[in-house]
Amino acid sequence: MSIEVRELTKKYGEITGVEQLSLKVGTGQFQGFIGPNGAGKSTTIRCLMGLLTPDSGTFSILGFDDKKAMASIKASVGYLPSEIRLYRKLSTQVHIALAIAIRRDAIASVQGKAAAAAFEKHAEQTAKTLSKRLSLDVQRPFGALSFGNQKKAGIVLSMLHEPPVLILDEPTGGLDPLVQETFFELLKERHTAGTTILYSSHILSEVERLCDKVAIVKSGSVIANEAIEHFRQKRLKRVMLKCHEDRVTACAAMVEQSGEASRVRIDRNVIQMDWHGLPSKLTALMTSINPKDFTVTEPSLESIFMHYYHDSADEAAEIGGI
């Protein structure tokens, strides 16, 4: 198990960041970590990186315990926060050189000078390749870069040592669509190479495209954690019923009364809904409604997510990227 979080709790005074949150991420897994703003995603990640101290609970990364081996955890993880804060007057190239030097010296003290020199050479070449692929000007002062280019610098710094674990918090903020595509390619390459990735986002289309498993966070706790395909194989379906114009209102009322539908919407003479009841009940409902036409499709991750949140419209309204 690459990442294991056990009943993590962190409060800010009377406000709860996370509460009894537990999560397991297997080795080589591409794990999505989704929820609206304020659900507890960033708080969890900051605890994992030692930036916050949990009130209770424990975690381990690559077998390193949080209370005994935080330095080993940080050495093994590539971390990309949602906002990058570096020395404004220094160039990205200088930041890269500093990062490599720190890791080189740490390697030299444990594995010797030859291993350190080999790491330095490989990391320098990796940083050059990443910078080129992301079209990043590494000579400009960090403070002179746009938010998107600052995020590119963060990507390079998080990946230059090719860590076995990547922890990414809202990583695409500020990146234009073309750069996002390059970033996704880089992540797929690292995943194929065996890197474990924890990908926190509220942009559900990204998670659906990249991740093989997704954890849904609500009010500071993980309420579901399954392979995306397992979510889709459950009973939830996306249904559209094309009704006779003079019966749309009555048909919608029948859908609501069934108690098996959520996110019911009417668009002219079409009723859209998420159905989470038995197929036999849906068949019986359609027999009663007698629609002019209908479609039943597998749900998107968005539909699945909203199914878990449909009882809280205020929270759902906060979700971005939908």
Model confidence pLDDT, tens digit, residues 267-299? 989 999 988 888 889 999 999 999 999 999 877
Model confidence pLDDT, tens digit, residues 122-154? 999 999 999 999 999 999 999 999 999 999 999
Whether residue 150 contacts residue 167, with contact meaning beta carbons closer than 8 Å, is answered with no
Task: Calculate mean pLDDT across residues 226-255.
Answer: 85
Residue 293 exposed, middle or buried by CB count within 10 Å (0-12, 13-18, 19+): exposed
Distance from the Cα of residue 312 to its chain's centroid:
21
Distance from the Cα of residue 199 to its chain's centroid:
3
0.85 exceeded by pTM? no
CATH superfamily of 237-298: ACT domain (3.30.70.260)
Paired tokens of 321: 């990227």
CATH top-level class of 3-227:
alpha beta
Worst-scoring range by mean pLDDT, 79-83, 94-98, 228-232?
228-232
Model confidence pLDDT, tens digit, residues 79-88? 999 999 999 9
Whether residue 3 contacts residue 23, with contact meaning beta carbons closer than 8 Å, is answered with yes
- Residue 139, SS3? coil
pLDDT of residue 277: 83
The residues spanned by each domain of the chain are 3-227, 237-298
